Structure 1
Amino acid sequence: MRRIAIITDDPGWHGKQLCLAFAERGYAADYVSLTACKLQLTVADLPIFMPGFEQELPSAVFVRGVPGGSLEEVVFYLDVLHGLKIMGVPVYNDAGAIERSVDKGMTSFLLQHVGLPTALTWVLRDRDAALVIAEQQLREGYYLISKPLFGSQGEGIRRIEKSTDLLWLTSSRGIYYLQRFVECVGDGYSDVRVFVINGRAVAAMRRRGISWLNNVARGASCECIELEPDLAELAIAAVNALKMDYAGVDVIQDEDGCYRIIEVNSVPAWKGLQSVCDINIAEYLVADLLDRYCVQDKIC
C-alpha cells in the first residue's frame, strides 16, 4: 500500500481525520516526528532517515506541526522538509511556506509588500524604541498588541491598554512585535477564519471570543458564515502572497467596515470550523495533495 507521512508530535483529532481521508484514497498514513528524523549523508540513495520509512521515502508528506526548540533545532527540522522536497517528495505545506508564515514579522512584511490591508505593525530589536512607539500609540488613544514572533493559539499575546501595562512589554527572544489593536465592528469581540485550499476559499466561520482573544483554543464560539466575494478574495490573496498550498486566514472587520488580515496560519487547526461547516475539510486537503502532487496515483 502507498504510504504518507504525517509530520506531527500530537496527532489527536486532526491526525485521525487525515488518516481516515488518506485511507479512503487507498493510502496508509503514519505519524512521524521531525525530532526523530536525521540526515545520514553517508547513505547516498537515502540521505534522509524517517522512522518507519527506512527502506523507501513516503509518497508525500503532510505537515501538521513543526516542533519548537532552539534556533538550531528548528532550522534542522526545516532542513529535513527542504531535503524531502529536493528529493522529489511532495511536502504539504512545504518548508518555505512554513518559514514565511511561522515568523509573524515576515508574514506582516509580505502582506504589506503586496498591498493587502493589515493592522499597523512594528517589528524591532531596540526596547527603548519599542517603548516610544507604545507610549505614542497610547497617547493617541490606541491599544497595542504585543506578540511573540513564533506562536499560536494566543500563547504569549498581551494587550497594552495603559502606561502601566508597559511594564509587561516583553520581547520574543530580543525582538519586539507590536501591532495596533483593531476594534471590530459590532458588539463584543469577533473575527473570521477563512480556510483556503489551492487558491480557493472553501469554508469560513466567525469566532466570537469571551475576551479580545478570539482563538477557539481559548473558548471562542464558532458559527458558519457565507463567504462574501471580497472576503474570499482577500484571504486567497494573502495565501498567494505567502505561496502556500493551504492556510487558515484570520480576518477582522474594523469599526469602519473594512477587512484587515490579522494572521495567516500554515498549519491551521480546523476542528472548530469542521463543527459548523458541511464539508469534510480533511478530505478536501487530502484530495488536493494527492491530485496535484501525486499524479501517478490518481488511478485510486
Structure 2
Amino acid sequence: MTQPSRRIAICTDDPGWHGARLRRAFAEHGWDSGYVSLQACRFDLTDDGDGAGLVIPGFDGLPDGAFVRGVPGGTLEQVTFHLDVLHALRRLGILVYNDARAIERSVDKCMTSFLLRTAGIPTPPTWCARDPDWIAELVERELAAGHQLVHKPLFGSQGEGLTRVRERGDLPAPDDCNGIHYLQRFIPTGDAGAHDWRVFVVGGQALAAMRRSSRDWITNVAQGASCHPAVLDAELRTLAESASAALGMAYTGVDILRDREGRAWVIEVNGVPAWKGLQQVCGLDLAEVLVSDMLRRIHENRVMEAVS
C-alpha cells in the first residue's frame, strides 16, 4: 500500500508527548506529518529536483511547512548548519514555524534582552560581556549595592546551568561559561517562595497563562516547579504580546515575574516552548491552537502567491 505523502515536517530529535500531540492535531485537519531531525538533513547542490538542493529525509521534494520543536545543539558549525536548513526552507517558500530568525533571536539571551530593552519592555538590568575584569568589577558593584545576580548560559533552556551570585565566589569561571558572562539582577518575588508566570502567545495573541511556583529560586517546570492556573490579566497579556512582537515570534512562551512591589518584568522569550504543564492547567488544546495557526499561515501564503 502506498503511504500518503508527509506534508508537514516536525523538526525534532525527541518527539515525545509534544510531537504526538502535534501529529494528532495535523491529522485531524487532514494533513500528514512526520518527524525530521535537522541533523539528518543535507544540502546536495548538484540536485536539480524539487528540493532545489535541500534534502529533507522522509519527503519526496520539500514539505509544505516545517514546525520547529527543537534545534539540536553542538559546535558552532553544527548549530549553524541546523539553522541553515531552516533558513533555506524559508528561502524556498516553505513556511517555518518558528523560523530561523526568530529562533536565533530567542535562543540568544543577550539578543533577547537587547531587543526587549530597545522595545521599551521592562526587563531586569542585564549585562553580557567577555572581559572577566569588567565582569568582576560589575559583580562587586552590584553586591555592594545590595543586589544579587543570576548567571545564565547564553544558550540554555529549562533552567539548566543557572547560578545565583550571592557573593563574589559564586561567579562561574570564564572556562565554565565559554568565556561569555550573561548576568541579570536577581528579582525577589516575595516571601511566599519563588514564582513567575508563563504566558503562551500564538499568532500575536496571548491565549493562556499559568503560575509556576517553587520552593527553590528556579521556577522552571523541568527543575521541579509546580504549575497552577492563572488569570491572564491585562498587564500579563500586554507584556507577553509586546515581547513576542519585539522578537518576531509566530508562537512563544513568555516568562514574567513580579517583584515585591508588584512591578512586572519579562525574563525570557522562548522560541521552542514546551506546553505540557500549561496544558494541564489551562483547559485549552494548545497543539490544536498551534496547528490551526500554522495552517492558516500556509493558506494565506498560498493565496498571496496565487494573487501575485
Q: Which residue of 2 aligns with 1:32?
A: 36
Matches within 5 A, 1:1-300: 1=4, 3-45=7-49, 46=51, 47-53=53-59, 55-166=60-171, 172-295=177-300
Deviations 1:92-133, CA, capped at 9 Å, x for gaps: 000000000000000000000111100100000111111111
Contact 1:190/1:207, CA 8 A, preserved across alignment? yes
SS in 1 for 2:281: coil
Deviations 1:180-224, CA, capped at 9 Å, x for gaps: 001114511100000000111010000001200000011101011
Partner AA of 1:52 in structure 2: G
Deviations 1:222-246, CA, capped at 9 Å, x for gaps: 0111111111011000000000101
Partner AA of 1:272 in structure 2: G
Q: What is the Cα deviation at residue 168 of structure 1?
A: 5.6
SS in 1 for 2:208: strand
SS in 2 for 1:275: helix
- TM-score, normalized by length of structure 1? 0.95
Sort the Cα spacing of 1:169 and 1:79 in 2 relative to 1 into closer, same or farther, 3 A: closer
RMSD (Å), alpha carbons: 1.4
Deviations 1:25-66, CA, capped at 9 Å, x for gaps: 01111000000001111113321111101x221111000000
SS in 1 for 2:70: coil
Deviations 1:123-166, CA, capped at 9 Å, x for gaps: 00111111111111111111110011001011111001123323
Q: Which residue of 1 aligns with 2:306?
A: none
Partner AA of 1:119 in structure 2: P
CA distance in 2 between counterparts of 1:65 and 1:222 reads: 23
Contact 1:81/1:95, CA 8 A, preserved across alignment? yes
Contact 2:55/2:61, CA 8 A, preserved across alignment? no
Sort the Cα spacing of 1:51 and 1:154 in 2 relative to 1 into closer, same or farther, 3 A: same
Partner AA of 1:149 in structure 2: L
SS in 2 for 1:237: helix
Partner AA of 2:71 in structure 1: V
Q: What is the Cα deviation at residue 167 of structure 1?
A: 5.9
CA distance in 2 between counterparts of 1:78 and 1:242 reads: 17
Sort the Cα spacing of 1:170 and 1:3 in 2 relative to 1 into closer, same or farther, 3 A: same
CA distance in 1 between counterparts of 2:146 and 2:174 reads: 18
Partner AA of 1:48 in structure 2: L
Report how many aligned residue pairs link the two structures.
296
